Amino acid sequence: MDPSRRTARGVAAVALTILLLGMCLGIGCQPQLQAIAPGEGAPTVAGSEATRSEGDGDPGIFHDEVVFGQSAAFTGAARFLGTGMRLGIEAAFHEVNQSGGVHGRHLVLETLDDGYEPNYASANTKLLMENRKVFALIGAVGTPTSRVAAPLAHEAGVPFIAPFTGAEFLRDPELDNVLNLRASYYQETEEMVERLTEDLGVTRVEVLYQNDSYGQNGLDGTTLALERRGLTPVSSGHYERNTRAVKSAVASIMAAEPEAVIMIGSYAPVARTVELARREGDPALMAVSFVGSRALADALGTEGEGVYVTQVVPHPEDDSIPVVARYHAALAAYDAREEPGFVSLEGYLAGRMAIAGLEACGRALSRDCFIKALRTDEPIDIDSMTLKLGPRDNQGSDEVFLTVIGPDGEYRQVESLTVSP
């Protein structure tokens, strides 16, 4: 790299860190929640603000670059989700950049760590929009963080692309700047309840949930799915976000002798729940996609066999699917040390969805054109994976896949709960 360019990057990184530290004095930020400047902490896809030419039209659009922003968890209990989403997005951006970019513009991803905490997500979102002046926000991680970030983006007219959450509030068609990729938590929990009742004849279902908007959304989805079948949850228990303090909640749940436990949480507390629940009984155990599949399997080790997880993307090892094969190639070209996974595949698809919007607009790019290009009645094809959004529909995919951890610790896709892992 040219020494002057490296110096400019360093100056920009220091300046951004000082600015964020100043903001943190007002909101009590933790020390680790600081800016991750391009080239710091992760491979970068393209240039820095210090070397950009004058912007063209809307913020984040330059003669040779388009700049996206991501506030996500890169530390803390949900860090595997943030790093996975970032990896996939950057692999997609690197892939298109190696071919000259989109209509001559390279794609850049600016990232900030929010530790999966709403107050840091709010500060980061403002910083990305107001100081870094990004074109769009992409790959936010979590419901409580998106709940504070999405309204800020909506007010500013900034596209809010492919958040890693199935929260129902983001499916509101009036949120015309929101572009969801994945199926909702209501759809995931509907699949769980359908399989439990139809495949196993289960009637006694309990819910372990995170005590915030994410967990409540999953609890609501489960309750509605049960009510459609004339059932109600036997009971439920909760734990606090960014902890694994589930012991009392699991004790209460298992005292009701459930046939199945649906878990709405992140990998560490869910892994602890599996461990404690199996000491007291043998219920079917199911978790939604936000759990972080690879992290959960690693945490459970040999105890993971038979735990079910719903997914919202195809199996990342199934390269017979064209888009998965393309993802494998992009990931290997970007960082050959990384293994395919559900989260980074979702990040890659998020990047590809953003690229589809950019391609449709040509050189005359604007936020308005970008949003309209994706919220069209015409299906968007991404190497055989079809996304269908529309003027009154801001969710691209309705697919939910059922997977189970096998005896080797690997996930297998299954069609029913009666299939042996």
Return the pLDDT at 95. 98
Return the pLDDT at 263. 97
Token pair of 284, please?
Answer: 């079917």
> Look-up: residue for tokens 């991501």?
70
- What angle do the packed helices 267-280 and 293-300 form, to 10 degrees? 40
Position 151: which residue type? P
Percent of the chain with pLDDT over 90: 81
Return the pLDDT at 10. 41
Return the SS3 of 283: coil
Return the pLDDT at 3. 41
Q: Across residues 130-159, what is the average pLDDT?
A: 97
- DSSP letter assigned to residue 29: -
pLDDT band at 56 (very low <50, low <70, confident <90, very high): low
Question: Mean of the per-residue pLDDT values for the chain?
Answer: 88
Mean pLDDT lowest among 48-52, 121-125, 307-311: 48-52
Q: Across residues 327-336, what is the average pLDDT?
A: 98
Return the pLDDT at 57. 86
Higher pLDDT, 93 or 384: 93
Q: Could you read off the pLDDT of 104-116 as tens digits, one per residue?
A: 999 999 999 999 9
Q: Across residues 378-388, what is the average pLDDT?
A: 94
Which part of the chain has CATH 3.40.50.2300? 3-182+321-387, 185-311+401-414
* Alpha-carbon 133 to chain mean position: 22
Q: Could you read off the pLDDT of 67-80 as tens digits, one per residue?
A: 999 999 999 989 99
> Look-up: residue for tokens 């809010």?
160
Q: Could you read off the pLDDT of 27-42 as tens digits, one per residue?
A: 334 334 444 432 344 3
> Look-up: residue for tokens 């388009």?
66
Region of residue 202 (phi > 0: left; psi between -120 and 50: alpha; otherwise: beta) = beta
Those residues whose C-beta lies under 8 Å from the C-beta of residue 112, and which sit 6 or more positions away, are 20, 34, 35, 36, 69, 70, 71, 124, 127, 128
Residue from 401, 349, 343 nearest 380 by CA: 349
Other residues' Cβ atoms within 10 Å of the Cβ of residue 229: 14
Return the pLDDT at 235. 79
Answer whether CATH 3.40.50.2300 is correct for domain 185-311+401-414. yes
Q: Which long-range contacts (CB under 8 A, 24 or more apart) does 154-163 make?
A: 154/178, 156/129, 157/367, 158/129, 158/134, 158/367, 159/135, 159/367, 159/370, 159/371, 160/136, 161/68, 161/136, 161/137, 161/350, 161/353, 161/354, 162/138, 162/346, 162/349, 162/350, 162/353, 162/354, 163/139
Q: Across residues 299-317, what is the average pLDDT?
A: 96
Q: How far apart are CA 188 and CA 166, in angstroms?
A: 9
Q: Across residues 243-247, what is the average pLDDT?
A: 93
Q: Could you read off the pLDDT of 393-421 as tens digits, one per residue?
A: 999 999 999 999 999 999 999 999 986 66
The CATH class for the domain spanning 3-182+321-387 reads: alpha beta
pTM (predicted TM-score): 0.87
> Look-up: residue for tokens 């970019």?
101
* Phi then psi dihedrals of residue 96, to 5 deg: -75, -30
Return the pLDDT at 377. 87
Q: Could you read off the pLDDT of 6-19 as tens digits, one per residue?
A: 334 443 443 444 44
Mean pLDDT lowest among 3-12, 85-94, 215-224, 281-290: 3-12
pLDDT band at 234 (very low <50, low <70, confident <90, very high): confident
Return the pLDDT at 418. 83
Q: Is the pLDDT of residue 163 over 60?
A: yes
Q: Is the pLDDT of residue 64 over 90?
A: yes
Q: How far apart are CA 211 and CA 220, in angstroms?
A: 12
Compute the radius of gyration of the chain from its Cα atoms.
Answer: 21
Return the pLDDT at 360. 97
Q: Could you read off the pLDDT of 269-295 as tens digits, one per residue?
A: 999 999 999 999 999 999 999 999 999
